[in-house]
Amino acid sequence: MTSKNTLGKVAAALLMAALVSACSSNAAKEEAAAQAAAEQAAAEQAAAAEAAAAEQRAMEKEKAMVMAEKREEKRRLMDAASAAGSVFYFDYDSSSLSDDVRAAIDAHVSLMMADSGNVRLEGHTDERGTREYNLALGERRANAVRDYMVASGVPAYRIETISYGEENPVAYGSGESSWKKNRRVEIK
């Protein structure tokens, strides 16, 4: 009974050993496979990252190009607005916009549509006529420019108007050569 018992034990041990051996062999294989998979994943990830980075670089490049274009466009609009001038002139006792003035305002409108800044329109008159009526006339001129800008698509809240009447002349002296310089709206 003892030998049979021992035999049984040995057999059990062998079986165990075989089992363990079989187990350990499986684990190694799995480990290797997992490692390979991980390496592949890493490689894929790296490739993907590389691709993403490349894409990012491309996008950034494109964005930079677009920005540069926008900057260029804005610079062009600013140049156009500055070439159009920031002072619009009017006839005596009139707030009508001449074709030249409309063209000049158009340049400013294009610039305003391209950015988000606000403007202040200051209306002025020459010294003829009464001061208080001239305050109203200066406002009418500033409003005429504002209304034209709004009609061209600029939101009204981005435009502030103020009239100084005849208080802030740019040219002193009495005579049409001075007066025509003072009948104006300044955009600021």
User: Count residues contacting other proteins (CB under 8 A)?
Assistant: 23
109 belongs to the binding site for other proteins (CB under 8 A) = no
**Min CB(143)–other proteins separation in Å:** 9
- Which of the stretches 55-63, 64-72, 75-83, 135-143 binds other proteins when contact is defined by CB under 8 A? 135-143
62 belongs to the binding site for other proteins (CB under 8 A) = no
162 belongs to the binding site for other proteins (CB under 8 A) = yes
**Min CB(91)–other proteins separation in Å:** 14
- Which of the stretches 20-28, 79-87, 108-116, 134-142 binds other proteins when contact is defined by CB under 8 A? 134-142
Q: In whole angstroms, give the CA distance from residue 9 to residue 36.
A: 40
**Min CB(155)–other proteins separation in Å:** 16
167 belongs to the binding site for other proteins (CB under 8 A) = yes
168 belongs to the binding site for other proteins (CB under 8 A) = yes
Tokens of 43: 């490689």
Nearest to 144 by CA among 184, 181, 176: 184
Question: Around Cβ 185, how many Cβ atoms within 10 Å?
Answer: 26
Q: In whole angstroms, give the CA distance from residue 101 to residue 141.
A: 12
164 belongs to the binding site for other proteins (CB under 8 A) = yes
List 135, 150, 152, 180, residue binding other proteins (CB under 8 A) = 135
139 belongs to the binding site for other proteins (CB under 8 A) = yes
